[in-house]
Amino acid sequence: MNATDDHSLTITLRIPGAWSDPGELLQRLPAGFHMTPETLSLPDGTQIEFFPMPADDQFVQIFQSSCRHTPTSEERALISRYTVNIGLSGPGGSLEAAQVMMQAAAAIVQAGGAGVFVDNSALAHGGKDWIKMTEDGSGDAMSFAFVSIVRGPGTTYTLGMQTMGFADLLMNAADIDEQGDTIIEIMRYICDEIKPVEVGHLFADEQGPRFQVVAKTSDDFDAQSPMHNPHGRLKIVSVKDLADSN
Same domain flag for 34 and 138: yes
Which of these ranges, 43-52, 62-71, 176-185, 233-242, has the smallest mean pLDDT? 176-185
Same domain flag for 110 and 79: yes
SS3 state at 210? strand
Domain boundary among 111, 128, 143: 143
Please list, in sequence order, all residues whose beta carbon lies within 8 angstroms of the beta carbon of residue 100, skipping any fewer than 6 positions away. Answer: 42, 46, 48, 90
Q: Please report which confidence band the pLDDT of residue 242 belongs to, taking 50, 70 and 90 as the band edges.
A: low
The string of pLDDT tens digits covering residues 71-120 is 999 999 999 999 999 999 999 999 999 999 999 999 999 999 999 999 99
Q: Please report which confidence band the pLDDT of residue 3 belongs to, taking 50, 70 and 90 as the band edges.
A: very low
pLDDT value of residue 231: 94
Same domain flag for 158 and 134: no
Same domain flag for 21 and 74: yes
Domain boundary among 143, 168, 196: 143
Domain boundary among 143, 173, 201: 143
Q: Is there a domain that residue 220 lies in?
A: yes
Same domain flag for 139 and 152: no
Asked whether the predicted pLDDT for residue 180 surpasses 90, the reply is no
Same domain flag for 72 and 130: yes
Q: Check: pTM over 0.85? Answer yes or no.
A: yes
Better pLDDT: 113 or 193: 113
Q: Is there a domain that residue 160 lies in?
A: yes
Same domain flag for 126 and 18: yes
User: Where do the H-state alpha helices sit in the chain?
Assistant: 22-28, 59-65, 73-80, 95-110, 127-136, 139-146, 181-191, 239-245
Domain span including residue 188 = 148-245
Q: How many domains, in total, are found in the chain?
A: 2
